[in-house]
Structure 1
Amino acid sequence: MTMLPSTIWAPRILSVLRIVVGLILLQYGSAKLFGWPAVGIFENLKWSSLFGIAGFFELAGGTLLILGLFTRPAAFVLSGEMASAFFIEHFPRSFFPVQSDGDLAVALCFTFLYLAFAGGGPWSLDAMFAAGKLDTAAQTGR
């Protein structure tokens, strides 16, 4: 059985991970701020509430992650948001995420922390800017 070289696939899967967690986060921000998709606990949510402010972070951060734009700083901020979410919302119920329903907050916290150090991968606007591809295209008009 031949194994695929990890050097080929690991960077691409990093980009896939970034896009998928960005989409997950985007749906939470959209549900909190716009009521879509409809989630009962976010009905009549005030944008100035703690959940509303978190929704802004999730909407903006999710969009940045999907695009792979400013991935490292966005992921770092989002990691802090998820840590705050765990300690504010879940930790008072139990230290153990399985008992406090804080599993997703913890998993996303450490996923975002990883992305803050690993970057967005090759399929990101960050990588395109670093390679100079977008700058060259803008200068030549292509």
Structure 2
Amino acid sequence: MDVDRIAAQSQPYLLSLFRFITGLLLFQFGVAKLFKFPPVEMFADVTPLSLWGIAGMIELVFGGLLMLGLFTRLVAFVLSGEMAFAYFIEHLPHSFFPLVNEGTLAILFCFACLYLAAAGGGPVSVDAMRRA
């Protein structure tokens, strides 16, 4: 059994799975911020037109589009920018170190979305169905 061959064959499908899970995780942040479900103390006072509320709208809509794989490259690029913005506005002022300023997740989402902007949505996506 050749591990490299198996990994190479599964790579496009794992890209689609990675895209879906990344979108789902961002989508859940939007739902928590805007609809207070599940109730998260950190998002209890978020209002729709606040900075956090607008971020929640972006995460809700664009996270949903990312799950579907629709306009993947553009959506992922915007989400990457949102996460970079979140890191520099919310986390970096508290400390230079991500482990201390609790910005690790924002950095990870930023680079995950940047990768998706470059790689696309994979074969299991609405984008792939539109090309066929």
Q: TM-score scaled to structure 2, two decimals?
A: 0.96
Deviations 1:57-110 (A, max 9, x none): 000111001000000000000000000000000000111111100000000000
Aligned Cα root-mean-square deviation (Å): 1.0
Question: Which aligned pairs between 1:1-142 and structure 2 lie closer than 5 A?
Answer: 2-5=2-5, 6-131=7-132
* Shift of residue 44, structure 1, vs aligned partner: 2.9
Identity over aligned pairs, percent: 55
Q: Distance in 2 between matches of 1:22 and 1:56?
A: 13
Larger Rg computed on CA atoms: 1
Q: Distance in 2 between matches of 1:21 and 1:119?
A: 13
Deviations 1:13-64 (A, max 9, x none): 0001000011100100000000011100111321110000000000011100
Report the number of matched residues.
131
- By relative contact order (CA 8 Å, sep 6+), the higher-ranking structure is 2
Q: Distance in 2 between matches of 1:17 and 1:74?
A: 15
Q: Distance in 1 between matches of 2:2 and 2:71?
A: 37
- Secondary structure in 2 aligned to 1:91? helix
Q: TM-score scaled to structure 1, two decimals?
A: 0.89
